[in-house]
């Protein structure tokens, strides 16, 4: 049944056989709710970008590491990256084998590099110093280097990861030193990767950056310096439309796929290459299959501003506070849709005035006990949640293919909060 504001989730039967209120009653509020069918659809869309035999979708697990979701992503045929011992552990727990995993790290200690190599992974490093440390730690190992193609993209300065203003990547001008280090430690240069940034909505920048990496790889190959190549990884950043109620267009996957497929097919033929090509999306796969549910606990006005207070503080979802990120919001009250709106600022229950989920949003007037649904919360949502103000983190529930809910992470308890203290 349509609710006060629910057309986006209604259109995809997001909650299956439950209502949001029933889910909150059963599992508590706030609550991360995932939909299996949407997760599988997103994986399939990306796997369909190219039919080239070496093409892989390397899910960037930093977006969401719940093993129940990782298992589905693996079942669909994706491989995965890890950037920490924790991600490696959870990826393995979900069934990914070493040849299905890539370690793409940044500023890590020798023990971490050693552990990834010993687990059978290729490690991508992103500075000459880390390449040298990898070589000293595990001489003779396979190595991959992350290049900075000079083109950056992203929804916020904090997530643009190439170009001049970023800590990431090795400049192509330093490639002679890369080979000196590789040779000194008898390593094999098995891959090149890059990641220009997070959330692009037009294919062009990504395809241009691909051309840069492919151009470098062609040159090295023609000089006979890239004979051990196994993987060329173009990175992630595939955007999703967060402004769903304004009909924001989706990323044109047909155009992107055509550009990717053509480039890798031609490059393989020209360079007599039988290895793999990776794209490395996180957000595109896991964002849209999730709605974060919360509850309106109090409403009030202060001067000109109408506030709706809720249990959705930045301890639960950090993106709005950290990046001024926009998430559409639905309202479930069990009554019919309402078209009359009023500007409201939705805030959480954290002791900071910056704890704002949505600024001055034109929405039907919120009331105490309304259930809120924050759309597109599955990427960089739970993984960035904290226990700030000593609030336990929420549960996660999966609406399975047949529409029934399944708990995939229990709510933290007060005992969990206390579990690590030693005195």
Residues with a known catalytic role: 351
197, 153 contact by CB (below 8 A): yes
Q: Does 63 bind ligand LLP (CB under 6 A)?
A: yes
Q: Does 60 bind ligand LLP (CB under 6 A)?
A: yes
Coil, helix or strand at residue 307: strand
Choosing from 76, 87, 280, 330, the residue that interacts with ligand LLP (CB under 6 A) is 280
The torsion angles phi and psi of 27, rounded to 5 degrees, stand at: -115, -5
Sole window of 18-26, 58-66, 173-181, 257-265 interacting with ligand LLP (rule: CB under 6 A) = 58-66
Comparison of 279 and 399: residue with beta carbon closer to ligand LLP: 279
Entry field: residues in the chain: 423
CA distances in angstroms from 233 to 79, 193, 375, 421, listed in the order given: 12, 4, 30, 42
Least distance CB 239 / ligand LLP (angstroms): 8
Q: Give residues 72-111 in contact with ligand LLP (rule: CB under 6 A).
A: 104
Q: Estimate to the nearest angstrom the gap between the alpha carbon of 80 and the chain centroid.
A: 11
The torsion angles phi and psi of 333, rounded to 5 degrees, stand at: -130, -10
Choosing from 70, 159, 160, 210, the residue that interacts with ligand LLP (CB under 6 A) is 159
20, 371 contact by CB (below 8 A): yes
Comparison of 83 and 229: residue with beta carbon closer to ligand LLP: 83
Choosing from 195, 327, 333, 393, the residue that interacts with ligand LLP (CB under 6 A) is 195
Comparison of 27 and 234: residue with beta carbon closer to ligand LLP: 234
Query: What DSSP letter does each residue of 332-371 carry, written as one string?
Result: E-SS------EEEEEE-SSSSTT-EEEEEEEESPP-TTPE
Q: Give residues 213-252 in contact with ligand LLP (rule: CB under 6 A).
A: 235-238
Comparison of 24 and 232: residue with beta carbon closer to ligand LLP: 232
Choosing from 9, 18, 198, 344, the residue that interacts with ligand LLP (CB under 6 A) is 198
- Within 13 A of 275's CA, how many CA atoms are on the CB side? 18
Compute the distance between CA of residue 334 and CA of residue 416 in angstroms, rounded to an integer: 34
Least distance CB 4 / ligand LLP (angstroms): 27
What are the structure tokens assigned to 104, written together?
């793409």
Least distance CB 251 / ligand LLP (angstroms): 11
The β-bridge relationship of strands 31-35 and 55-60 is unpaired
Coil, helix or strand at residue 128: helix
Q: Does 363 bind ligand LLP (CB under 6 A)?
A: no
Q: Is the dihedral of CA 214, 70, 387, 109 positive or negative?
A: negative
Comparison of 4 and 78: residue with beta carbon closer to ligand LLP: 78
Residue of 388, 308, 381 lying closest to 348 (CA atoms): 308
Q: Does 277 bind ligand LLP (CB under 6 A)?
A: no
Residue of 312, 308, 358, 364 lying closest to 336 (CA atoms): 364
Q: Estimate to the nearest angstrom the gap between the alpha carbon of 91 and the chain centroid.
A: 14
Sole window of 55-63, 129-137, 336-344, 356-364 interacting with ligand LLP (rule: CB under 6 A) = 55-63
Choosing from 123, 145, 147, 199, the residue that interacts with ligand LLP (CB under 6 A) is 199
Reading phi first (left if > 0) and then psi (alpha if -120 to 50, else beta), residue 390 is in left
Comparison of 116 and 199: residue with beta carbon closer to ligand LLP: 199
Q: Give residues 322-361 in contact with ligand LLP (rule: CB under 6 A).
A: 323
Q: Does 205 bind ligand LLP (CB under 6 A)?
A: no
Choosing from 203, 281, 320, 405, the residue that interacts with ligand LLP (CB under 6 A) is 281
Choosing from 283, 333, 391, 393, the residue that interacts with ligand LLP (CB under 6 A) is 283
Residue 255 burial (CB count, 10 A): 13
Comparison of 314 and 332: residue with beta carbon closer to ligand LLP: 314
Choosing from 319, 333, 391, 393, the residue that interacts with ligand LLP (CB under 6 A) is 319
Rule CB under 6 A: which residues touch ligand LLP? 60, 62-63, 104, 159, 161, 195, 198-199, 235-238, 280-284, 319, 323, 379-380
């Amino acid at each position: 049944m349509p609710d006060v504001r629910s057309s986006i989730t209604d259109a995809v039967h997001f909650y299956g056989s439950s209502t949001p209120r029933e889910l909150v009653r059963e599992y508590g509020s706030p609550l991360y709710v995932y939909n299996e069918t949407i997760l599988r659809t997103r994986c399939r869309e990306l796997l369909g970008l190219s039919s080239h035999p070496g093409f892989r979708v390397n899910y960037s697990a930093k977006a969401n590491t719940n093993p129940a979701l990782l298992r589905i992503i693996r079942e669909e045929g994706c491989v995965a990256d890890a950037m920490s011992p924790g991600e490696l552990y959870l990826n393995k727990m979900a069934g990914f084998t070493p040849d299905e995993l890539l370690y793409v790290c940044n500023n890590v200690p020798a023990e971490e590099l050693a552990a990834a190599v010993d687990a059978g992974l290729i490690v991508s490093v992103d500075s000459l110093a880390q390449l040298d440390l990898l070589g000293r730690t595990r001489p003779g190992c396979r190595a991959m280097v992350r290049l900075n193609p000079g083109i950056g993209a992203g929804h916020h300065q904090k997530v643009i990861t190439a170009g001049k203003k970023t800590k990431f990547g090795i400049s192509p001008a330093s490639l002679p030193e890369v080979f000196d280090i590789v040779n000194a430690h008898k390593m094999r240069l098995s891959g090149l990767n890059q990641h220009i940034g997070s959330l692009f909505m037009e294919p062009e920048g990504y395809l241009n950056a691909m051309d840069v990496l492919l151009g470098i790889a062609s040159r090295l190959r023609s000089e006979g310096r890239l004979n051990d190549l196994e993987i060329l990884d173009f990175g992630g950043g595939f955007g999703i439309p967060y402004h769903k109620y304004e009909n924001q267009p989706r990323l044109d996957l047909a155009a992107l796929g055509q550009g990717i497929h053509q480039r890798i097919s031609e490059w393989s033929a020209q360079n007599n290459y039988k290895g793999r090509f990776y794209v490395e999306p996180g957000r595109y796969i896991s964002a849209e299959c999730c709605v974060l549910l919360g509850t309106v606990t109090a409403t009030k006005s202060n001067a000109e501003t109408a506030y709706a207070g809720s249990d959705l503080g930045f301890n639960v979802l950090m993106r709005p506070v950290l990046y001024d990120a926009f998430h559409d919001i639905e309202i479930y009250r069990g009554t019919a849709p309402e078209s009359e709106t009023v500007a409201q600022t939705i805030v959480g229950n954290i002791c900071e005035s910056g704890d704002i989920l949505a600024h001055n949003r034109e929405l039907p007037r919120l009331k105490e006990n309304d259930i809120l649904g924050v759309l597109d919360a599955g990427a960089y949502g739970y993984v960035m949640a904290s226990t700030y103000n000593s609030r336990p983190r929420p549960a996660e529930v999966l609406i399975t293919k047949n529409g029934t809910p399944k708990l995939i992470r229990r709510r933290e308890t007060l005992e969990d909060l206390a579990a690590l203290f030693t005195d």
